[in-house]
Amino acid sequence: MCGRFTLTNKDKVKKRFDIDLEQSFNICPSTEILVLTNKLENIKWGYSPHWAKSPMNLINARYETIHEKPSFKDAKRCVFIMDGWYEWKRYFDWKRRENIKDPYYHHLNSNLIYTAGLYNESGCVCVTKESVKPISDIHNRQPLLLEEEQIEKWLVGDHILKDYVSGNIQIHKVSTYVNSPRNNDYKCIQPI
- Exposed / middle / buried, residue 95 (Cβ in 10 Å: 0-12, 13-18, 19+): exposed
Q: For the residues of 167-187, what is the DSSP string, one character each?
A: GG-EEEEB-GGGGSTT--SGG
Q: Which residues of 18-51 are buried (b: 16+ CB within 10 A; e: fewer)?
A: eeeeeebbbbbbeeebbbbeeeeeebbbbbbbee
Model confidence pLDDT, tens digit, residues 122-148:
999 999 999 999 999 999 999 999 999
* pLDDT tier at 162, thresholds 50, 70, 90: confident
* pLDDT tier at 13, thresholds 50, 70, 90: very high
**Which domains are seen in the chain, by residue range?**
4-188 (3.90.1680.10)
Model confidence pLDDT, tens digit, residues 57-86:
999 999 999 999 999 999 999 999 999 999
Residue 23 clears pLDDT 70, i.e. is over it: yes
Residue 1 clears pLDDT 80, i.e. is over it: no
* pLDDT tier at 51, thresholds 50, 70, 90: very high
Mean pLDDT estimate for the chain: 94
- Among 118, 97, 124, 100, smallest CA distance to 42 is for 124
pTM of the model: 0.93
- Among 55, 52, 44, 36, smallest CA distance to 124 is for 44
